[in-house]
Amino acid sequence: MREKRVHQVFVLSLLLKGVNALLEMAAGVSLLLVKTDTIIRVLNRYSLDHLAQDRNDWVANHLLEFTRHFSVAEHHFYAFYLLSHGLIKSVVLVGLLREKLWSYPASFAVFGTFIAYQLYRYTYTQDIGLILLSVFDLFVIALAAHEYRLVRRHLPTH
C-alpha cells in the first residue's frame, strides 16, 4: 500500500509540473506575440496608476524598475527561456508518466540543471519562489529516483 501511495504522490507531482510546463509555454508564446514596447507601455501605465494611489506600492515600484531595464534582448530571452524550459520539462514528464527508462536519468539531469540555475538566479534576485521551486524539483527528483528503482526491479532479465 505504501508503494502505491508514493506512486500516486509521484504522478500528482508530475501533473503539477506538467501544468506549470504548459503555463510556461503559453507565456513564452504570448511574449513572442507581443512587442517589447507594448509590454513596457502596459507595465508603466499599471505602475504609474498604482503609484499615484500609493507611492510605496511594492509591486508597482518593482514593475516600474523592471521596465527601465527591459530590452528587446531580454524580451526574447524570456520568451525563449519559457518556451524551451516548458518544452524540455514536458518531454521529460511525458516520458516519466509513460515509465520510459530514458526519462528517469534525463529527469535527474534536467531538474538538477534547473535547480542549479534557479539557485544561481536566487543569488541575484533573493526571490524565495526560486528556493521553493528548487525544493519542489528536488522532491520530484527523489520521487523519480524511487520510481526508477521500482521500474528497473520489474524489468525482465535476459
108-148: pLDDT as tens digits: 999 999 999 989 988 988 888 889 989 999 999 999 999 99
Percent of the chain with pLDDT strictly greater than 70: 97
Per-residue pLDDT band for 92 (boundaries 50, 70, 90) equals very high
What is the C-alpha radius of gyration for the chain, rounded to an integer number of angstroms?
20
Number of domains comprising the chain: 1
Does residue 142 fall inside a structural domain? Answer: yes
Does residue 48 fall inside a structural domain? Answer: yes
Does residue 130 fall inside a structural domain? Answer: yes
Q: Which three cell numbers, joined as nine digits, stand for 4?
A: 502505491
Secondary structure (DSSP) of 73-89: HHHHHHHHHHHHHHHHH
Does residue 158 fall inside a structural domain? Answer: no
The average pLDDT across 84-105 equals 94
Per-residue pLDDT band for 158 (boundaries 50, 70, 90) equals low
Does residue 115 fall inside a structural domain? Answer: yes
What is the domain range of residue 25? 2-153
Mean pLDDT taken over the chain:
91
